[in-house]
Amino acid sequence: MRILPGLIVAALLMAGCTASSEEPAAPSGAPTLEVAVVADGLDHVWDVAQAPDGTLLVDERAGGFTAVLPDGTVQEVQADFGDLFARGETGLMGLVLDPGFAGTRRFYSCQGVTDGSSASIEVIGWTVSDDWRTATRVADPLIGAIPVNEGSGQHGGCRLRFTPDGALLIGTGDNTVGSNPQGRASRAGKVLLADPATGEVAVWTYGHRNVQGLAVRPGTGEIFSVEQGTYRDDEVNLLRAGGNYGYDPQGADGSYDQSVPMTDPEIPGAIPAVWSSGGQTIATSGGTFLDGERWGSYDGLLLLGALKGQGVLALRLDDDGVLQEQFRLPELEGTYGRIRTVQQGTDGALYVTTDNGSNQDRVLRVTPR
């Protein structure tokens, strides 16, 4: 397996930890959170990113970018989605701004594409106009050849985030093809590491089912993936270069066997999860770390969006990545439906997207009172 030189982020291998499926209430002394709606009337909002000027950029699975300006104005960003492949879980998905966005106006999307006869998933580079009204493709694609399930759109991934040293991370799904997670020739069921300037890409980790979140731990460079299980074991994994995270649904008859564990201990070298849900899965999605004294006792928490679980789960991990406690954020518990993405913004606030459909979705701004 080829690893790109200069792009490796150090990470620690550690023992896994299975959590109870019943999360306790927030600990005493926890800050009270204020939740404000900054945009609504959206449909299956997937991701959110905040620019240095405070503008939020969000996307919707069926196609479309929306900007929320610092003065609260919500406006459409015109863009070409004529080749978008949107089916089932696949469509316009992960979104991230370039680390040099202030100078380049460049950002990236991960989306299904079709030429009319076949489909795949691609990472596309864009620039956005100064007035946030038009987005133009400038790398089309930056990275291609990520497989997609053309029939159902299941397990399409696809989360984008940057490492502290400027490498682009791409979390992909396995397309419900049993050979993909362990087959290192495929880009499905992986976390990929790419050079955003050239599009050079390599498999960084493998053995994944459906990577729906990537979170960088502040001050450490550690990368955590958030994955959805079947009826067992949603997971959070601490990633390290070349690691096998142990999902192997390849049945003896070539079928896709979803009864297997998310991390199979029989696979030599399989790396255990740092957190798993057990049998009561909540369909974990995006992940982000809270960082800053303003968050009080919440500072340093890893937050996970929950789709089926309809809320936000907080995990406290020690310096070695061992789970210390978990609880749900009460202000977001069951109030806003399915939570797709949680992401701390450049202003220190937490931004949350919902994924309920029927033009009922929102972007929320969460701050400690």
For the stretch 73-115, pLDDT in tens is 999 999 999 999 999 999 999 999 999 999 999 999 999 999 9
Angstrom CA distances, 302 to 9, 29, 85, 122, 178, stand at 19, 18, 32, 28, 30
Please report whether residue 310 resides in a domain: yes
Q: Percent of the chain at pLDDT above 90?
A: 90
pLDDT exceeds cutoff 60 at 277: yes
Angstrom CA distances, 362 to 43, 73, 365, stand at 8, 14, 10
Please report whether residue 302 resides in a domain: yes
Average pLDDT, the chain: 93
| Strongest mean pLDDT among 19-23, 44-48, 231-235, 275-279 | 44-48
> What's the CA gap between 344 and 309, in Å, rounded?
21
Are 42 and 62 in contact, with CB atoms under 8 Å apart? no
pLDDT exceeds cutoff 50 at 18: no
pLDDT, residue 23, reads 63
Are 167 and 7 in contact, with CB atoms under 8 Å apart? yes
Average pLDDT over residues 361-365: 98
Q: How many structural domains comprise the chain?
A: 1
What tokens does 198 get? 């050239």
For the stretch 237-257, pLDDT in tens is 999 999 999 999 999 999 999
pLDDT exceeds cutoff 60 at 193: yes
Please report whether residue 55 resides in a domain: yes
> What's the CA gap between 153 and 148, in Å, rounded?
7
Cross-strand partners of 4? none
pLDDT exceeds cutoff 50 at 15: no
Please report whether residue 110 resides in a domain: yes
User: 6-10, 121-125, 334-338, 341-345: which has the minimum mean pLDDT?
Assistant: 6-10
> What's the CA gap between 156 and 121, in Å, rounded?
8
Domain encompassing residue 93: 33-368
Please report whether residue 277 resides in a domain: yes
Average pLDDT over residues 134-149: 98
Please report whether residue 308 resides in a domain: yes
CATH number, domain of 100, equals 2.120.10.30
What tokens does 139 get? 């790398």
pLDDT, residue 25, reads 75
> What's the CA gap between 303 and 314, in Å, rounded?
5
Please report whether residue 54 resides in a domain: yes
pTM of the full predicted structure? 0.93
Q: Mind giving me the DSSP string for 268-320?
A: TTPPPPSEE-TTS---EEEEEE--SGGGGGGTTPEEEEETTTTEEEEEEE-TT
Query: Which 3 state secondary structure label does DSSP give 155?
Result: coil
Please report whether residue 16 resides in a domain: no
pLDDT, residue 161, reads 98
CA pseudo-torsion sign 343, 347, 349, 355: negative
CA pseudo-torsion sign 133, 138, 143, 145: positive
